[in-house]
């Protein structure tokens, strides 16, 4: 597979609920021919066992490269390793907070910190509700640093028929941030004729 900066992306899956987003993103990247570099946090491995019938081994197999969250010497921990950017989906509040402070304890948060310092695109699918003022201020700080805070909000206007449709739509919106058009995501094309006035 080609390895130019425009065809390589880091994916982090943290311990928040919603591992389906990260898994589907890996599948979409493969369909688009984008090389994926994956790190799954220890907490995410626990969440995976609760939320999915897919094994960790099968999740890792969906990535071109995968790393232990404790491997701080991995290529994605260095700014000299060129990538298009990074997505953390889902992103826990703890991971978000570590990234915001720059005091990182895992490869996932270190890779995100590197993404920011190299002025690359970082998308954080923060999955938490409700949010207190500290969370909101942390999101503001990250936005000021250049990150994109992108909570996985369901798009009911797309008339989804399943949870998979909702996941696909959100993954498509993530890919939009990087300039990729993924045809599995249904887009808004105006109101249907049945809703128009005569």
Q: In this predicted structure, what is the pLDDT of residue 4?
A: 56
What is the SS3 assignment for 154? coil
- 8 annotated ligand-binding residue: no
Tokens representing 7 are: 């065809």
Query: Per-residue pLDDT for 98 more than 90?
Result: yes
* CA proximity to 5, closest of 87, 82, 80: 82
- 30 annotated ligand-binding residue: no
Query: Per-residue pLDDT for 195 more than 70?
Result: no
pLDDT in tens, 17-73: 999 999 999 999 999 999 999 999 999 999 999 999 999 999 999 999 999 999 999
Provide mean pLDDT across the span 127-146: 98
SS3 letters across 69-138? CCCCCCHHHCCCCCCCEEEEEEECHHHHHHHHHCCCCCHHHHHHHHHHHCCCEEEEEECCCCCCHHHHHH
Nearest-angstrom CA–CA distance, 103 and 18: 25
- 137 annotated ligand-binding residue: no
How confident is residue 193, by pLDDT bands cut at 50, 70 and 90?
A: low
User: What is the share, in percent, of the chain residues with pLDDT greater than 90?
Assistant: 88
- 119 annotated ligand-binding residue: no
- 16 annotated ligand-binding residue: yes
Provide mean pLDDT across the span 110-122: 98
pLDDT in tens, 1-20: 444 566 999 999 999 999 99
Q: What angle do CA 101, 106, 136 make, to 5 degrees?
A: 35
What domains lie within the chain, and their CATH numbers?
Answer: 5-185 (3.40.50.1950)
Check residue 159 and give left, alpha or beta (phi > 0: left; psi -120 to 50: alpha).
Answer: left
Give per-residue burial for 159-183: e unless 16+ CB within 10 Å, then b.
ebeeeebbbbbbbbbbbeebebebe
How confident is residue 165, by pLDDT bands cut at 50, 70 and 90?
A: very high
**Considering only 41-45, 182-186, 194-198, which range has the smallest mean pLDDT?**
194-198
- 93 annotated ligand-binding residue: yes
């Amino acid at each position: 597979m080609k390895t130019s900066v425009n065809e390589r992306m880091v994916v982090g899956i943290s311990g928040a609920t919603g591992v389906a987003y990260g898994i589907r993103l890996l599948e979409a990247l493969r369909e688009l021919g984008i090389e994926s570099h994956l790190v799954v946090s220890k907490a995410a491995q626990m969440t995976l066992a609760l939320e999915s019938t897919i094994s960790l081994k099968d999740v890792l197999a969906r990535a071109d490269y995968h790393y232990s969250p404790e491997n701080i010497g991995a290529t994605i921990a260095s700014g000299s390793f060129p990538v298009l950017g990074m997505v953390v989906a889902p992103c826990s509040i703890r991971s978000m907070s570590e990234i915001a402070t720059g005091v990182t304890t895992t490869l996932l948060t270190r890779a995100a910190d590197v993404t920011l310092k190299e002025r690359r695109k970082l998308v954080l699918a923060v999955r938490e509700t409700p949010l207190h003022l500290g969370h909101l201020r942390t999101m503001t700080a990250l936005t000021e640093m250049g990150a994109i805070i992108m909570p996985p909000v369901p798009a009911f206007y797309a008339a989804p028929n399943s949870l998979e449709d909702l996941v696909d739509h959100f993954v498509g919106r993530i890919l939009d941030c990087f300039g990729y058009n993924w045809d599995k995501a249904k887009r808004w094309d105006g109101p249907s004729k049945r809703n128009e006035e005569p």
